């Protein structure tokens, strides 16, 4: 049995409870409790839950933007935590990249697209002799955008194009895991199809693991091998995606699936969108 690329056990995350009376500096509220899962190389894990369930907090805990207080994270066989030295922390974050929900706010509106894409390479001195223009062109091509987009500003692009720019920037450091936090939210059907096709190609061609956070159950079912259902910071169900969708064990999962129509997956749905 192969060792998972990312292994999480008993993960817990607390934040200050600003609604608490009295000594607010000491009051905390748990937003993630006893979260467990594993992701293998090239695997896609779907994370589902209603608003406030802890989906985005999980993404930030994994990247240590919000360091967890309990449990442990193991990545590529090594323990991960805020106590790591600066070099290890930098290398870990390079290997596990986060793509945010709102593509416009994630980009500097005053910086051209090409400069935004190569910024991580420049910051970590990883251009390896390439000119920035060459690196930007290769990354734009990888996400299916014209090379000429490097000279444009974010406001000149559509929402789907901006999201692909964000994915290109995340790919610059050659991550092993890509966390996609509601990356198709607010996009039209055609733009969603392009993003999903891109994510699937990264898994297939480059063995990039994917943590796909989404409220769109049909996308999760079609894209992800396994699924994690969150409610109030707790995992209420997890397992093989096909099995969870076909025979959910949790009452909450059943109600969640019943609340949204799930069409039968169509292997040619992308062709229909393009047509």
- Residue appearing with tokens 């898994």: 203
Determine, yes or no, domain membership for 259: yes
Q: Which two tokens stand for residue 202?
A: 């990264």
Helix axes 159-171, 132-142, angle to 10 degrees: 120
Q: Are 89 and 19 in contact (CB under 8 A)?
A: no
Strands 177-181 and 96-99: parallel
Determine, yes or no, domain membership for 163: yes
Residues (pLDDT < 50) of the chain are 275
Angstrom distance (rounded) from CA 271 to CA 127: 37
Angstrom distance (rounded) from CA 126 to CA 74: 25
Determine, yes or no, domain membership for 1: no
Q: Which pLDDT value is given to residue 187?
A: 85
For 123, the enclosing helix (H) or strand (E) is helix 113-123
Q: Which pLDDT value is given to residue 212?
A: 97
Angstrom distance (rounded) from CA 27 to CA 250: 32
Q: Are 220 and 212 in contact (CB under 8 A)?
A: yes
- 219: domain CATH number? 3.40.50.300
Angstrom distance (rounded) from CA 222 to CA 204: 14
Q: Which two tokens stand for residue 147?
A: 């090379």
Q: Which pLDDT value is given to residue 267?
A: 58
Q: Which two tokens stand for residue 30?
A: 């748990």
Using only C-alpha atoms, the chain has a radius of gyration, in whole angstroms, of: 19
- In the chain, the number of structural domains is 1
Domain membership of residue 19 as a residue range:
6-274
Determine, yes or no, domain membership for 165: yes
Q: Which pLDDT value is given to residue 28?
A: 86
Angstrom distance (rounded) from CA 52 to CA 247: 25
């Amino acid at each position: 049995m192969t060792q998972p690329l990312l292994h999480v056990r008993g993960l817990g995350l607390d934040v200050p409870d600003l609604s608490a009376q009295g000594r607010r500096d000491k009051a905390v509220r748990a937003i993630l409790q006893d979260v467990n899962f594993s992701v293998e190389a090239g695997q896609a894990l779907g994370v589902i839950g209603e608003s406030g369930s802890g989906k985005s907090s999980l993404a930030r805990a994994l990247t240590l933007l919000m360091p967890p207080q309990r449990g442990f994270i193991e990545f590529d066989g090594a323990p991960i935590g805020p106590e790591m030295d600066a070099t290890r922390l930098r290398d870990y974050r390079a290997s596990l990249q986060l793509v945010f929900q709102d593509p416009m706010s994630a980009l500097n509106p005053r910086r051209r697209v090409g400069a935004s894409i190569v910024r991580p390479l420049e910051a970590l001195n990883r251009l390896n002799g390439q000119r920035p223009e060459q690196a930007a062109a290769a990354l734009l091509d990888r996400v299916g955008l014209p090379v000429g987009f490097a000279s444009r500003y974010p406001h000149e692009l559509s929402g789907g194009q901006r999201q692909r720019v964000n994915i290109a920037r995340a790919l610059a450091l050659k991550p092993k895991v890509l966390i996609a936090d509601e990356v198709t939210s607010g996009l039209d059907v055609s733009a969603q199809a392009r993003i999903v096709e891109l994510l699937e190609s990264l898994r297939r061609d480059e063995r990039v693991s994917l943590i796909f956070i989404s409220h769109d159950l049909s996308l999760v079912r079609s894209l992800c091998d396994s699924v994690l259902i969150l409610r109030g910071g707790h995992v209420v169900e997890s397992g093989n995606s096909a099995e969870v969708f076909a025979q959910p064990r949790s009452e909450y999962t059943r109600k969640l699936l019943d609340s949204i129509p799930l069409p039968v997956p169509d292997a040619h749905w992308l062709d229909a969108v393009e047509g």
